[in-house]
Amino acid sequence: MTRALSISFNYAQNVSSNLRGSGLQQRSMSRDYLSYGSHLEEGFPFMGWSVRLTGLERNKFIGKFVRTLSLDHVTNGKETRAWQFDQAGGPEISFFDLDDFISNYQDNERTSRVNMNFAPLIGATFSFKKGIAVTMRHNRTLSREITANGGQKVFNDQSYLITANYAHRGGFTIPLPFFDNYKINNQVNFTFNFDMNKNRTLQKAQEATKFAETAFTPSWKTGVRITYTFSKSVSGSMIWEYRESDSKHTGKKIDRDFGFDVNLAIRG
């Protein structure tokens, strides 16, 4: 739309038929779909889209703090269904009349699933004038699944991601008597990561009227990685990571990791 704003749309729809050796007829479909409601109980076929806005550092106020800044948003929804027919010569599934097929053969439907993916719901990528680059993402995934016995599950997953990188180049010179000075170049890269997730599952039986929470697992982890190159012959890295999770079924769990490595290149 402009040099700073780009928007894209996409829509896909597929149908398939399968005849198994036992004589069973199977039909399936998938299409882009926009779901809404407290448990994604409403929706209609619709395209997905992505939006990217760049060049925000040109704003005089924002440009005082960052060297570059861009924002991202992506939305994709899907609907998938599958049917099974016992007799040979089951009804044909029409590419252009899917809604009629869905309403006419509800008793033969085996699985149904709709989902909404926001990856990211909002994302930002920016860098500071001193060489620090930062990426931030908030992703959400909502889905609703119906099985042949009428049971339903709703999944609600969220994640928050932050990554920061900084690279420093330097070096020093060793004076050698009677020889040329020996110059050593080195580079150090710092990477910081933070990741937080919340996974929640709701479920209800066919005769139930309300959903009940059957699983909820919050977790987060953070870590630092340092890699260095000391001249052309010596390189290495060091990593530290902390992870924590909590679950109704397994309880709280904490993990810590620390390690390092050194590489020496020997040339003849």
Q: By the 8 A CB rule, do 211 and 39 touch? A: yes
Quote the tokens at residue 40: 């994604």
Q: By the 8 A CB rule, do 172 and 184 touch? A: yes
The one-letter amino acid code at 68 reads: T
For residues 13 and 11, give the distance between their C-alpha atoms in angstroms, rounded to a whole number.
7
For residues 253 and 247, give the distance between their C-alpha atoms in angstroms, rounded to a whole number.
9
In this prediction, residue 54 carries a pLDDT of 93
Per-residue pLDDT of the chain (268 residues; tens, 9 = 90+): 578 899 999 999 999 988 876 778 889 999 999 999 988 989 999 999 999 999 988 888 888 889 999 999 999 999 999 998 886 667 888 898 899 999 998 888 889 999 999 999 999 999 988 889 999 999 999 999 988 777 899 999 999 999 999 988 776 565 666 666 656 667 889 999 999 999 999 998 877 788 888 889 999 999 999 998 877 778 889 999 999 999 877 788 999 999 988 888 776 5
Would you kindly state where each structural domain of the chain is located, as residue ranges?
A: 5-264
Percentages (nearest 5) of helix, strand, coil residues in the chain: 5, 70, 25
Quote the tokens at residue 156: 């609600």
For residues 30 and 51, give the distance between their C-alpha atoms in angstroms, rounded to a whole number.
24
- Write out the H or E segment, with its range, that includes residue 100: helix 98-104
pTM value is 0.80
| Cβ neighbour number for residue 211 with a 10 Å cutoff | 15
